[in-house]
Amino acid sequence: MIIIMKQGATEQNISSVTNYIKEHGLEVHLSHGKEVTIIGVIGNKNLLNADHISFMKSVDRILPVTESYKLANKKFHPEPTSIKVGNTSIGTGNLTIMAGPCAVESKEQLITIAHAVKESGANFLRGGAYKPRTSPYAFQGLEEEGLRYMQEAGKETGLATICEVVSLAAIEAAVKYVDMIQIGARNMQNFILLKEAGRSGMPVLLKRGLSATIDEWLNAAEYIIAEGNENVVLCERGIRTFETATRNTLDISAVPVLKEKTHLPVIVDPSHSTGSYKYVPSMAKAAVACGADGLMIEVHNNPACALSDGPQSLNFEKFAKLTTELKPFCQLVGRDF
């Protein structure tokens, strides 16, 4: 449940309520808004006397929280979260563009792409050093060598960097080189990995699972936040449906639904969702128009020769054209880009 304090409640009033909750073995999550403070209660609410709380000084009202996710819930945290990563932030007011190759192939390739995407307006360099592929014979990534290239490219261009992790060992390596880690769709419900990502303290991009409901996705985010790491960004990347015209089905409605349910930033990946560079621009524009906080777009210097996901990658010319075309959409929704 959540306890909404009256406007003007003092720190002493708030402490009286939180102390009562803690004395009964429950956890407290405080959210200080512009006008009121909200106290989130985590644990078995039956251990508390709700009537006693409602009569405590400066308590306005008590509301139940029926959803199983609490810390990711907008009821607990009404103000939208903005997450600082490197020299940029992800959240309200600006549009974050994460761009780069699906897989890091070489140092020269990555630095070339990094300069190109920065010139076109990207503020993040994305690149895969660990590649969980459907086929065991497909390119699996350069691992720590690729992470070192990510670090060098980030330093040279000033871009923030993000890379997917697939294990505890990958997390331990990634924290030394990149600014943000990504949990991919195949690992969305790898709860051990989610906990380790939370313990890492690194900002985490959590992609939606292949067939995950929105509530399952938010519960996965809860695993990360419950470890004390509130820096979580959600990424809609398409879900598996009966349709085969595109690689996946981009659930664009997930963006407004998430904006209603959670305070966490939401970005969209039009590359993995469609599987074709032809559809990326239109889906990117739709994502911005419906309120997404950012985009993750695959860009390659030579898509035809890419070791991973070439068909969905934009070349430099197409990416530059897209970022130019996105500006009016950003203006319509009041975002800086």
CATH number of the domain at 8, please. Answer: 3.30.70.1140
Selection from 233, 259, 258, 241 nearest residue 181 by Cα: 233
Query: Do 158 and 92 fall within a single domain?
Result: yes
Query: Do 36 and 128 fall within a single domain?
Result: no
Is residue 71 in a domain? no
Query: Do 88 and 146 fall within a single domain?
Result: yes
Is residue 170 in a domain? yes
Confidence at residue 133, expressed as pLDDT on a 0 to 100 scale: 65
CA distances to 293, 310, 329 from 164, rounded to whole Å, are 20, 18, 29
Query: Do 38 and 140 fall within a single domain?
Result: no
Is residue 78 in a domain? no
Query: Do 234 and 186 fall within a single domain?
Result: yes
Query: Do 57 and 187 fall within a single domain?
Result: no
Number of H helices, E strands in the chain: 11, 14
> Rounded mean pLDDT of the chain?
94
Q: What whole-number percentage of the chain has pLDDT above 70?
A: 99
Q: Which two tokens stand for residue 242?
A: 């009966």
Query: Do 273 and 166 fall within a single domain?
Result: yes
12-28 mean pLDDT: 93
Query: Do 53 and 154 fall within a single domain?
Result: no
Query: Do 266 and 187 fall within a single domain?
Result: yes
Q: How many domains does the chain have?
A: 2
Selection from 19, 9, 58 nearest residue 41 by Cα: 19
Query: Do 212 and 140 fall within a single domain?
Result: yes
Q: What is the pLDDT confidence band of residue 287, given thresholds at 50, 70 and 90? A: very high
Contact 248, 265 (CB under 8 A): no
Confidence at residue 213, expressed as pLDDT on a 0 to 100 scale: 98
Q: What is the pLDDT confidence band of residue 135, given thresholds at 50, 70 and 90? A: confident
Domain residues for the domain of 221 are 83-332
Q: Which two tokens stand for residue 179?
A: 């600014």
Q: Which two tokens stand for residue 37?
A: 């403070």
Query: Do 41 and 122 fall within a single domain?
Result: no
Is pTM beyond 0.85? Reply is yes
- 186 pLDDT above the threshold of 90: yes
Query: Do 162 and 42 fall within a single domain?
Result: no
